[in-house]
Amino acid sequence: MRVLRKPIRHLYIRVDPTDGSVRVSAPIGMDESAVQRVVESRQGWIERQRQRLAARPGAPYRAVASGEIHYVQGRPCRLDVVEGPGRPGARLIGDDTLELNVKPGADPAKRHAVLERWYRRLLGDALPALIERWEPTLGVRVAEWRIKRMKTRWGTCNIRDRRIWMNLALARKPPECLEYVLVHEMVHLLERRHNARFHAYMDRFMPDWRVRRARLVE
């Protein structure tokens, strides 16, 4: 996310059509945390704009074709689509190549489905160890966790059932962002609201949480 300070009264958000990145024009005197809150509240709109741009004819980065750049745990990786008779799936090759194996003639929707399943497994493999690490630190217990696509939130917490939902898109974000969202939702088991007590818990358990939060919308 790139923030430009201008002598304006209101904040404006733009999604760059070339790469889907976020561009923000903000009033000179607007507090950084306020800018962050507004951007986070518009996350659903941002994702819809990215999807709209990706659906355009000739969109360069969402057709699920070889040469595209897809992010894996915060790392940009070049997509290499391989058509063949084997089982569809994906794997990382080295540090910068994501190989996607699909059936011959698979259209973008089927390719996307294969890629999404792989992202889901990637995220699912990372969460148990993180939960196990943070439960004794926070003094809480997560009864259940699940993954789903979400338009407006990175995570949610059902306090009564002690169930946490994580946004599938976090598989594309750096590990420290995934950990931040998880801890954020787990802290809700201590404090339901985003009040001073909640922020005090976050400051205590994860002092750099604001930095991690900012990376989510980069």
pLDDT per residue as tens digits for the range 68-107: 888 899 888 999 999 998 899 999 999 899 999 999 999 8
Q: Give residue 59's pLDDT band: very low, low, confident or very high (50, 70, 90).
A: very low
Confirm if 138 and 186 have CB atoms less than 8 A apart: yes
Q: What is the pTM of this model?
A: 0.73
Give, in degrees to the nearest 5, the angle at Cα 212 between 125 and 40: 100
Whether 58 has a pLDDT exceeding 80, the answer reads no
175-208 pLDDT tens trace: 999 999 999 999 999 999 999 999 999 999 999 9
The pLDDT, as a whole number, for residue 153 is 87
The pLDDT, as a whole number, for residue 65 is 87
The residue-averaged pLDDT of 27-40 equals 91
Mean pLDDT of the chain: 89
